[in-house]
Structure 1
Amino acid sequence: MTGFASDLTHVAYESPDIVALYAGPDGLQEPEATLLAQLGSSLGEIEMLDIGVGGGRTTRHFAPLAKTYLGVDYSSAMIERCRLEFPAFRFAVADARRLDFAADESYDLVLFSYNGIDHLDAVERQMALREMHRVLRPGGLMVFSSHNANYLPAIIDRFRFRIKPGLRETLRSFKWSSVFWLKNGLLGYRMPLAAGRVHDGTHSFRSSGIYYVRPDLGVAELRQLGLIDIACAGNESREFVPGDHPGLRQHKDPWIYYVSRKPVHG
């Protein structure tokens, strides 16, 4: 991220209340649980990079089982919290767009969970995906989640002004509806939106816009990088479907998990 948007988001993720928010949850998303189960004992041979580690939600489950583990986040406050909570494991402050600390093909599993990649704009997103691809070993897995553009009608409906039973609730609805449309301008006229940034109310609009992408276009991004064995799952599903599944284009879950593999040389 660059400029004001980057500063706004960074300030939010350094703030104590947001750090506490991300330090609270300790369970895996359903697709993450599937991934963990599928990897099984092979995790003991895997060197893992966990990007956007936040408060260490995924650390708790993956780090004790991996051969080596490094959790990174661009928030120093998040990393400090992780070091206090999980002193046995390694953490570092890092930027997903420039994984300069890592040599080419140095990790077997690269995970970027909880839609962290969506704080980047379209150009920066490609930078992050290329970096994840670069540090991944042949045969290794790239896993990340991203907001689903097909879910945007539900976001718009959430911020629709409504008359409530009480005056306070009605005024609150008016306030947040006004803020939403002030920040999103002509979003209603851009629908259906295949890919783009939306101020969706994350952290009460304290962060910059969030990138939404239609699942089939998310798959296309991975194909352009040369990744194979692409599969997707909605955030509340344990079942992955192939990246060329005919229903993926219309999939409506709030966000999608993408799993793909880097081809083996030769």
Structure 2
Amino acid sequence: MNPNEQDRVNQAWYADPWSVDGMARRQGFTDEGERSAFWRIADEMRGRPILDLGVGPGRTITLLRALSADYVGIDYLPTMVDAARARHPFADIRLGDARSLGGFAAGRFALVAFSYNGIDSVSHADRQRVLAEVFRVLAPGGVFWFSTLNLHGPARRYRPWRPPAPRRPQRALGWLRYALEGLRGYARVPAHWRHYRQVLPLAEQGEGWAVAPFFAGEWRLLTHYVSLARQLTDLAAAGFAAAAEVYDDAEGRGIGPDDALDEVFSFNLLARKP
């Protein structure tokens, strides 16, 4: 797969040792939506073949190999593959690209996972290739579990000159840290503004989706955002069953396209191959 400009921007950030180390420190679930989706399918997937896309330094390896020893993880960056292999020497981790899964037979897996908004790192056209390839390697009745950023959620509204507010403290002694974090956020605005302007010319948008700068990574990432209605339409167009299950990030509750979604940061979806 020949890299495009979005690949060039994102891979430069992901390959940075600082990024690899930061992602490697993450353990467990990223949010409540991921937790709900995992436990929804855990019993069904025990002992069955699993493909883990965009495995990074290996956070999901512990979660998914606990379900099945028939596990393969791939990532498109050698630095991430090396980090995952170092932390999980007995797992099957390979260099690969979610847009081109030709190394796997059709119907090979019961579950394909693409966590932590990993699918959002590729272009809109390449995203459709991911859906097609995942559909091909899933067995009938298999599940594609992935998370994606909400086009109408808070992340799309952030701007480098208006950084996200730090989480409000639960205890009185936390207010000093809250204030310091707020000040640090504004101190980084000049650098964030510079990064934002560098990637902004690559932004694009269409009906129900956009590719735009993302605040994580100090605004050095170019990320895909999608409305829930558009994502469900794209899944159906790729052949997945219409009744995908969707969970919000904050509470892990099941949601639908008619719910109020303005405060939903990201979705976890379980899409099934008929």
The Cα shift of 1:106 comes to 0.5
Q: Which amino acid letter does the alignment assign opposite residue 105 of structure 2?
A: A
- 1: CA distance, partners of 2:76 / 2:15: 9
- What does 1:47-62 correspond to in 2, within 5 Å? 47-62=49-64
Q: Which amino acid letter does the alignment assign opposite residue 12 of structure 2?
A: V
1:216 paired to 2:217: no
* Structure 1 residue aligned with 2:34: 32
Structure showing the higher helix proportion among its residues: 1
Q: Which amino acid letter does the alignment assign opposite residue 237 of structure 1?
A: E
* Structure 1 residue aligned with 2:189: 173
- What does 1:178-257 correspond to in 2, within 5 Å? 179-180=195-196, 183-184=199-200, 194-207=208-221, 209-228=222-241, 229-241=243-255, 243=256, 245-247=257-259, 250-257=261-268
8 Å CA contact retained: 1:22, 1:55: yes
| Structure 2: tracts of 5 or more residues without a match | 164-178
Q: Which amino acid letter does the alignment assign opposite residue 273 of structure 2?
A: K
- How many residues align? The count is 255
SS in 2 for 1:130: helix
8 Å CA contact retained: 1:215, 1:251: no
8 Å CA contact retained: 2:37, 2:269: no
1:141 paired to 2:143: yes
Pair 168,39 (structure 1): closer, same or farther in 2 beyond 3 Å? closer
The Cα shift of 1:11 comes to 2.5
* Structure 1 residue aligned with 2:167: none
Pair 154,72 (structure 1): closer, same or farther in 2 beyond 3 Å? closer
1:4 paired to 2:5: yes
- 1: CA distance, partners of 2:244 / 2:42: 20
The Cα shift of 1:56 comes to 1.1
Q: Please, which moves more after superposition, 172-181 or 74-83?
A: 172-181
What is the aligned-residue identity percentage? Answer: 25
Superposed CA deviations along residues 81-138 of structure 1, whole A, max 9, x for unmatched, are 1111112211001011101111111000000011111111111010011111110100
8 Å CA contact retained: 2:6, 2:123: no
Question: Which of the numbers 100, 103, 117 marks the counterpart of 1:101?
Answer: 103
Pair 169,141 (structure 1): closer, same or farther in 2 beyond 3 Å? closer
Return the TM-score normalized by structure 1: 0.84
8 Å CA contact retained: 1:133, 1:225: yes
- 2: CA distance, partners of 1:20 / 1:83: 14
- 1: CA distance, partners of 2:107 / 2:124: 24
The Cα shift of 1:40 comes to 3.7
Question: Which of the numbers 57, 64, 67 marks the counterpart of 2:66?
Answer: 64
Q: Which amino acid letter does the alignment assign opposite residue 196 of structure 2?
A: F
SS in 2 for 1:202: coil
The Cα shift of 1:9 comes to 1.9
8 Å CA contact retained: 1:159, 1:180: no
Pair 247,173 (structure 1): closer, same or farther in 2 beyond 3 Å? same
| Structure 1: tracts of 5 or more residues without a match | none
SS in 2 for 1:18: helix
The Cα shift of 1:62 comes to 1.4
- 2: CA distance, partners of 1:107 / 1:218: 22
Q: Please, which moves more after superposition, 134-143 or 28-37?
A: 28-37
- 2: CA distance, partners of 1:143 / 1:186: 28
Pair 261,191 (structure 1): closer, same or farther in 2 beyond 3 Å? closer
The Cα shift of 1:143 comes to 0.9
Pair 175,144 (structure 1): closer, same or farther in 2 beyond 3 Å? same
* Structure 1 residue aligned with 2:162: 160
8 Å CA contact retained: 1:149, 1:193: no
- 2: CA distance, partners of 1:262 / 1:156: 35
